[in-house]
Amino acid sequence: MTAAAQKQRGARKATPSRAVALRPSLPATRSPQLSPPPVQEHDLLWGSVSGDTIDRQVHATLARLTFGISPASLYEAYTDWAVHLAMSPGKQAHLMQKAVRKALRFANYAQGCAREGAKAPNCIEPLAQDKRFDAPAWQQFPFNLLQQSFLLTQQWWHNATTEVPGVSQHHEDMVSFAARQLLDIFSPANFIATNPEVLQATAQEGGANLQRGAEQFLADWERLIAGKPPVGAERFVPGESVAVTPGEVVYRNELIELIQYKPQSPKVFADPVLIVPAWIMKYYILDLSPENSLVRYLVERGHTVFMISWKNPESSDRDRSYDDYRRLGVMAAIDHISAAMPKRPINAAGYCLGGTLLATAAAAMARDNDTRLKSITLLAAQVDFTQAGELTLFIDDSQVCFLEDMMWEQGYLDTKQMAGAFQLLRSNDLIWSQVLRLYLLGQKPQMTDLMAWNADSTRMPYRMHSEYLRGLFLNNNLARGQHMVDGRPINLADIRVPIFAIGTERDHVAPWTSVHKITFHPATDVTFLLASGGHNAGIVSPPGKDGRHYRVSTKAAGERYQDPETWFTATPEHEGSWWPQWQHWLAQHSGAKVTPPEFGVSLGAAPGRFVQQR
């Protein structure tokens, strides 16, 4: 990273988000190269292709081998850590002391096991989210020694890769994360000979579990190579078993289909609801099987619901910009709804990237005195990316350049190419636990509607994703008042309609503490709700499911800000789904009950054409 880039990042990191959100200024962003560069005359001597083109093609090829992770970025981080550690004899001495103490703790534990057996207290406990060693068999000799030794080693490496004087925070996070991933590969839970659960199953079944696991591995590998969905996903087809809430496509352009759902009651709320899903996903995560459908839940309670269904972009869409998604997506949908239901303000809800886009559109509308929005709901959506969680490990200048070259070659980024990075964030849950369950224990996967939806991947255009990564994620222009719409900056603080924001406790994509930053807003009421679950399962939370809970409170305009930790401690927990809480709030902002509005010209039944695109 250049000194200028480090200086820029340090300045951004040191500036409180609450202040900069209210101070617009003109941005200085780097525009992506939208098409292959023209061939220069001097390049003819080198095979009629420019050096920049060669570099991009090499990077794109390499990116496919590294799951889109930049080797240069990793090397830079490790060099920063290694050089500073080599110059820190005090840190080295501290690590040596740590190693000696851990060795003594382990020796005392081993002696205790010899005397007391499984009753000996552990010398180290796994983290709360680490479930690898929960089974009682892990407390029996010699497996108790294996798992305790592994956890002590993991803890020591965490100490070794953190708090090294002089290492940048971003590089420290990257090195610590990479060390954890490497250690997870060698966890005793991942091998037949060192996993007591696998050994017991193998003995009881005479090795049948391993045979089933091998068959499952070959079947999964074949489907992966052929580009087929996982086994069982074929049972969840949009329009047949999922995305079946009755509705019609009432508008279509080159980027979206707008679905209007049929009313399920003789009277409906006067003000409609527009849902803006993320284009990184198919919209029907909010209209899964009937018992898991948020759309059906709203329609049955008298709301007139419109849903955007995004086109799955192809190479020809490489030049689609972030602003194209605002204009042809959010604003086109608002224009159509306003024409169909004149003088009725709209309650808009955005999920994930759709929420970020909705906030962008709402700020531009507020700047331009466009009053067609009545309220805004942000579902696991970020507007400030200064603390965007572990995803920031994969976002720096080197990494973004690497991704841009990969997208430059094919014109889009396939979510399958991002899957490796997302899985690494939760490798215990998404990689190694799956290896154990499917291939070592031989358990057959039980496909659900949410799992099948997750396998129904989409793509993102080159230009849009590059602008999003650089402008919003890396430079944080939206929160800083530097994002440009129609040549002028927008400011989130201009929004005056009520906001309802939902975060989820175990969200690795949009951490709830980052989503909570919307409560910085000084000029309107902001209701923040924290739900149990993760980025997807926490949002798909219909009433009646066990183990669900949430916290919720409202910060009125002008009230003092509470940091996330203080808010969490002060806000009581409620059992059950958050859907009724939000629907009650939505009803309060939806006007009186009226006769259902008439449908416009139908362009086909829901779920439409775009959701079927592969």
Q: What pLDDT does residue 420 have?
A: 54
What pLDDT, in 10s, does the model give residues 33-51? 444 444 344 444 444 456 6
Bond prior to 196 in cis (omega within 30° of 0): no
Q: Judge whether residue 183 has pLDDT over 80.
A: yes
Dist. CA 594–CA 600, nearest whole Å = 18
List, for residues 303-332, the tens digit of each pLDDT value: 999 999 999 998 889 899 999 999 999 999
pLDDT, residue 429, reads 58
- Given a cut of 50, is residue 565 above it in pLDDT? yes
d(CA 240, CA 463): 34
Cα dist from 604 to 255, 330, 607, 608, whole Å: 16, 21, 8, 6
Residue 337 lies in a domain: yes
- Mean of pLDDT values over 190-201: 94
Where residue 53 falls among pLDDT bands split at 50, 70, 90? Answer: confident
Cα dihedral value 575, 579, 582, 583, nearest 10: -130
* Rounded alpha-carbon distances, angstroms, from residue 134 to 43, 189, 197, 427: 62, 11, 11, 17
In a domain, 498, yes or no: yes
357 within some domain: yes
Select from 325, 309, 389 the least CA-distant residue to 357: 325
- Per-residue model confidence (pLDDT) at position 415: 65
Name the residue range of residue 564's domain: 247-386+476-612
Number of domains in the chain: 1
Comparing 475 with 27, the larger pLDDT belongs to 475
Number of neighbours of residue 523 by Cβ within 10 angstroms? 14
Q: What is the CATH number of the domain that holds 571?
A: 3.40.50.1820
Is 73 a member of any domain?
no
What would the mean pLDDT of 57-66 be, rounded to a whole number?
74
113 catalytic? Reply is no
Domain assignment present for 100: no
Tens digits of residue pLDDT in 492-502: 999 999 999 99
Q: Which two tokens stand for residue 501?
A: 């924001």
Q: Of the listed 113, 123, 352, 401, which one is catalytic?
A: 352
pLDDT digits (tens, 9 = 90+) for 126-173: 988 788 899 999 999 999 999 999 999 999 999 999 999 999 998 999
Query: Using CA atoms, how far apart are residues 185 and 182, in angstroms rounded to an integer?
Result: 5
Which helix (H) or strand (E) is 259 found in, with range? strand 256-261
The confidence band for 477, taking pLDDT boundaries of 50, 70 and 90, is very high
Report yes or no on 571 lying in a domain.
yes
List the strands of the sheet with 256-261, edge to edge: 247-252, 256-261, 305-310, 273-276, 346-351, 373-379, 499-504, 526-531, 549-555, 573-575
Mean pLDDT of 536-549: 93
396-455 pLDDT, tens digit per residue, is 777 777 777 777 766 767 666 555 555 555 555 557 788 888 889 988 878 899 989 988
Residue 479 CA to residue 76 CA, distance in Å, equals: 28
Strand pairing category for 526-531 and 499-504 = parallel
Residue 381 falls within a domain, yes or no?
yes
Stretch 251-264: mean pLDDT: 96
Q: Give the DSSP letter string of 186-249.
A: T-GGGSGGG-HHHHHHHHHHTTHHHHHHHHHHHHHHHHHHHTPPPTTGGG--BTTTBS-S-EEE
Q: Within 66-142, where are the H helices? A: 71-86, 89-116
How would residue 120 be classed by pLDDT, with cut points 50, 70 and 90? confident
